[in-house]
Each structure stands twice: as C-alpha cells, then as structure tokens.
Amino acid sequence: MCEASDVSSLPTHLPKPAGTLPPGLGHWLGAAASLGLFAVAAFVMGRAVSELSFAELAAAMSETRGAQILAALLATAFSYLALVGYDLLALRRMGLRAPLGVVALASLAGNAFSFTLGLPLLTGAASRYWVYAKAGLTAGHVANITLFATLTFWLGMAALLGLGLILAAAPLSSIDHLPAAANFALGALLIGALALYAVWAWGGRRRVRLWGGAIDLPRPRVMLAQIALGVADIGCAAATLYVLLPAESQAVGFPALATLYVAAAIVGGISHAPGGVGVFEAFMLGALPAPSREALLAALLTFRAVYYVVPFLLAAALMALRGGRAPFAELAGMSRRWRVTG
C-alpha cells in the first residue's frame, strides 16, 4: 500500500494553478482538518485503551497462530511485489530502464520508510532517490515515478472501494447503516467514474497537477494495468489484516473487510499520521465486530508489525548492505537539500 503524501513535498518548478483561496490559507485549513481528525481518533483510541485489559491483550496476541503469521507475511510480500510493479510500469512508460534489483530496492525502501516513519520528504522520497541515482536517474525522473505511483495507488483504491461496495453491499449495511441498495449505488458510481475517466483520457493528451507536480494521464490500456496493480497491492494489504483477525471479525467476509480497509486507509491518510497510526486502528475498532476489543486490537497491532515494521527493517538492512553506513549519511544530506529546495 502507497501513501498519497509521498509526493506532497517533492521539489518541482512547475507553476501551481491559481486558486480562489488566499495564499497559504488552503494549507492551514488542510492542517487544521488533519489535526482535528487526529484529535478525534486520539480521543477514540484513548477511551478504548482506558477500557482495555492489558493482560487480555497480551493473551490475545500470544494466541496468534504461526500459520496466521506466515499467511500474513506471504500477503505482505505480494503487496510489496505489486508496489514494485508501480515503479516498473512508470519506468516503462517513461522509456527508462533500471536493473530489477535496483527497482525492487528503491520501491521497498521508499514505501517502507515512508509508511513507517512518515515525513515522506525526509524518508521515502529521499531513500528512493538514493537508490535510483546510483542507476543514473535524476530527481525529475524520481518525481515522475512517484507521481505515477500515487496515481496508480488512488486508481486501485477507487476500484477496490467500488467493487467492495457492490459485492458486499448487504454485509456493509449493518456497519455503515445505509441500505444495501445505497451501498451498491455508491459502488456503481465509483466504477462508472473510473470508466468516464478512461473515456476522457482516451480523447488525447491530458495533464493533471498533483501536489505542485504534473503528470500526463495514461491511456486506458496503461490505466487498466494501474488498476490491476493497485487492486493487487491494496487487496493483499487487506488480506494481511484479514488472516490475523479473530473469526468473529472475519465473518463480515473479505469484500466487506477490504472495503473497510480502504475507508480506514483514506481516513488515516487525511490525518497525515505515519501509516495512519492511531487513526486507522480507531476506525477499525469502531467498525468491525469482534469477540473483544483486546482480540481486535491484538490483530491490528500484529498487522502493523507485519506490514510496516518487518519491511522497514528489511529495507534498512538491504540499504546498509548495499552501501555500508553511507546511505543513511547521504539520506540525511539529501533530505536537508530537498527540504530547502521544496
């Protein structure tokens, strides 16, 4: 799973579109909304934690079976493999080539560092650039790859959310308290919007601006590949959580769980917390049925360890093996230069 904030601070020199809000006001409003959302999630999590039995939480975590951990690790591996596909597709579209090992390490490091630590300019983007620069790619190339990956991620999110609302309209109605027909209609609307987007992109060269950068929209065939990769990535991330959940939570079915996962990821992304930490958990605690809060929170914490911490440690180890202590010293320098440039 990719974070949308990966490109929010990439240094670009493209003119930004004129807006109707006074300069800087939009950023302040966005920051206020993020802080408000995070405060609400912190309140919800605080209340939930205050009512927890930590002995029961520890017992629930210890009851996680080895087969569940293995299945979660396998689903995580497929998710990060799909994230490598984001970069490969971007490079192919740009007419660039890089060794597969370089692409895999750049994707793993960029995503794992950004997911776990947040501050994408200081972690994800800089680490991605450190790897790609060794293969001769420029900062502009990396910015375009990241923009393309972000678009791929959002196409996958929209497609999976739409499909989930259609396939799990009835189970979701007991969670979101909407009629099943309304859930189905919302899902159909999302899929229809993707179809209209494909028709619009077919008509000629289309350029959109994202977070101060710009990207030419791909034609429908590339768009379909993006959707397939995005659905695979996010679907496998949701599967990582699904296999760790208690049976009562799994009873909602995978399509409904995947839909809730996407919704929680969107809310967590809006909060700008690294990996949606706290916000994601608060959403899922409020949405999913479970035998106890302790059992559900144990699954959520195990998911965070498997999907975020393990890839992060692997990426750090591989970068250290590739460059000794150099990568981390260079990353600090790159981060400072990019922050000044941005």
Lowest mean pLDDT among 96-105, 168-177, 186-195, 332-341: 332-341
Report pLDDT for 327.
56
The two three-digit tokens of residue 289, written as one number: 């049925």
Whole-angstrom CA distances from 124 to 177, 187, 222 are 38, 32, 25
Average pLDDT, the chain: 81
Report pLDDT for 17.
44
Report pLDDT for 342.
44
Report pLDDT for 276.
72
CA 166, 172, 177 angle in degrees (round to 5)?
Answer: 120
Top pLDDT among 146 and 98 is at 98
Report pLDDT for 4.
44
Best CA proximity match to 85, nearest among 148, 162, 8 = 148
Whole-angstrom CA distances from 52 to 12, 49, 322 are 47, 5, 43
Helix axes 254-271, 139-167, angle to 10 degrees: 140
The span from the CA of 38 to the CA of 32, in Å, is 10
Number of Cβ within 10 Å of residue 234's Cβ equals 24
- Residue 297 pLDDT greater than 80, yes or no: yes
147-164 per-position pLDDT tens digit: 888 889 999 999 999 999
Q: Which own/partner pairs from 39-48 qualify as long-range (CB within 8 Å, at least 24 positions apart)? A: 40/282, 41/267, 41/271, 41/278, 41/279, 41/282, 41/283, 42/278, 42/282, 44/282, 44/285, 44/286, 45/278, 45/281, 45/282, 45/285, 48/282, 48/285, 48/293, 48/297
The DSSP call for residue 7 is: G
304-324 per-position pLDDT tens digit: 999 999 999 999 899 888 765
- Residue 303 pLDDT greater than 90, yes or no: yes
- Residue 301 pLDDT greater than 90, yes or no: yes
- Distance linking the first and last C-alpha atoms of the chain: 25
**Full-model pTM:** 0.81
- Residue 62 pLDDT greater than 60, yes or no: yes
Q: How confident is the model at residue 134 (pLDDT cuts 50, 70, 90)?
A: confident
180-221 per-position pLDDT tens digit: 999 999 999 999 999 988 887 776 666 666 555 566 777 788
- Residue 86 pLDDT greater than 50, yes or no: yes
Could you tell me where the DSSP H helices lie in 245-325? 247-250, 254-271, 279-287, 293-304, 310-323
Top pLDDT among 197 and 124 is at 197
Q: What residue spans define the domains of the chain?
A: 66-341
Q: Which residues contact 222 (CB under 8 A, 6 or more apart)?
A: 89, 93
